[in-house]
């Protein structure tokens, strides 16, 4: 099958491209390189032996999106990653996030509905749940007002898809609400490489350990958790990538019970910020320089997944531990800094 991956040179996108190519799919990547690099193509090629087709394209430019789909009418499915993804940054730049995350989704869907095959996987997030009343979080948990503009763009994205599926039965969509992807490919050929200062915990940890950052800030230690720091469900990025392949296969095989479905993608286990730091120090044999600072606006206290639905229906489950993820992230960080 021919699969379009938007944001396919990004962190999760590139790992998903690897898994798609390992399954024999033909992949076309769109990416505007705003938070990625063309060098990622080399890493994908080293792992899979296949170089995916790539077009540098900003999805905010509607006419370029239209032109792309006119030239690629044989696409069998789309996996849509292209979006800005940092909670803290979204609080500071809400209009940018709404334009980049919502407008681009609309432009892609407008063109997809013109194609014969309308299989679509949406990169959603556990942030749609906000501060959950009950843990672990299942797909039936209420969608609460978002804690950040980023989270709100994911809620809006799902609403757009749900409304579109109601009036277009040819559109088959799965939204994957993943929790906190981390780690890198175990080959160290691809991994997380944010532009500028990292907005996520693990790359900030590895950059601090390698000497690129002076100190890691832990935002708050007075939350109602086991050690006072926020709890998240940290899942290896390769596990997340494999979930997209399982979801795509479900669409290709016409196995959906409804043309809009959602699945949580996580490990089912919550780890605190301090536990992540301890895991990193354990596998890397590095002592991390960190400091407790004030809470950060937009952060929920605790979030980890009930993955029963994905395990049962998609036939998917996470395989890698937090220690696996930390070690792969550290090996990747060392490799890219020692070029």
Long-range contacts of 136-143 (CB under 8 A, 24+ apart): 136/268, 136/270, 136/304, 136/305, 136/306, 137/264, 137/303, 137/304, 137/305, 137/306, 138/264, 138/306, 138/308, 138/309, 139/177, 139/262, 139/263, 139/264, 139/306, 139/309
Q: What is the dihedral of CA 148, 154, 160, 164, to 10 degrees?
A: -170
Q: Do residues 18 and 45 touch, judged by C-beta distance below 8 A?
A: no
Question: Of 11, 97, 107, 150, which residue is the catalytic one?
Answer: 150
Q: Is 11 a catalytic residue?
A: no
Q: Do residues 180 and 232 touch, judged by C-beta distance below 8 A?
A: yes
Long-range contacts of 84-87 (CB under 8 A, 24+ apart): 84/35, 84/150, 85/150, 85/199, 86/150, 86/199, 86/200, 87/127, 87/147, 87/148, 87/150, 87/151, 87/199, 87/298, 87/299
Helix (H, G, I), strand (E, B) or coil at 283: helix
Q: Which residues pair with 293 in a beta bridge?
A: 219
Catalytic residue list:
150
């Amino acid at each position: 099958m021919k699969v379009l991956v938007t944001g396919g040179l990004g962190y999760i996108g590139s790992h998903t491209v690897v898994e798609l190519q390992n399954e024999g799919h033909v992949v076309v990547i769109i990416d505007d390189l705003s938070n990625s690099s063309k060098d990622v193509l080399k890493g994908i090629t080293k792992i899979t032996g296949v170089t995916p087709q790539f077009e540098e394209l900003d999805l905010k430019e509607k006419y370029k999106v239209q032109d792309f789909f006119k030239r690629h009418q044989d696409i069998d499915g789309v996996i849509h990653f292209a979006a800005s993804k940092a909670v803290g940054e979204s609080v500071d730049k809400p209009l940018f996030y709404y334009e980049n995350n919502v407008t681009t989704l609309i432009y892609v869907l407008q063109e997809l509905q013109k194609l014969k095959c309308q299989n679509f996987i949406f990169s959603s997030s556990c942030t749609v749940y906000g501060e959950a009343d009950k843990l672990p979080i299942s797909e039936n948990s209420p969608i609460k007002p978002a804690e950040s503009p980023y989270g709100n763009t994911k809620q809006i994205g799902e609403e757009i898809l749900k409304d579109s599926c109601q009036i277009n039965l040819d559109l088959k969509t799965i939204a994957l609400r993943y929790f906190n992807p981390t780690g890198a490919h175990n080959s160290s050929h691809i991994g997380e490489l944010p532009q500028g200062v990292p907005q996520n915990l693990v790359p900030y940890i590895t950059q601090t350990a390698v000497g690129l950052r002076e100190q890691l800030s832990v935002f708050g230690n007075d939350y109602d958790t086991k050690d006072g720091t926020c709890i998240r469900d940290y899942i290896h990025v390769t596990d997340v990538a494999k979930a997209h392949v399982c979801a795509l296969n479900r669409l290709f095989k016409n196995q959906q019970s409804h043309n809009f479905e959602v699945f949580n993608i996580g490990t089912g286990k919550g780890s605190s910020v301090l536990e992540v730091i301890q895991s990193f120090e354990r596998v890397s044999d590095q002592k991390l320089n960190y400091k407790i600072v004030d809470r950060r606006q937009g952060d929920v206290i605790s979030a980890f997944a009930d993955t029963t639905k994905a395990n049962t229906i998609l036939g998917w489950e996470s395989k890698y531990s937090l220690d696996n993820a930390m070690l792969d992230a550290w090996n990747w960080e060392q490799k890219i800094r020692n070029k």
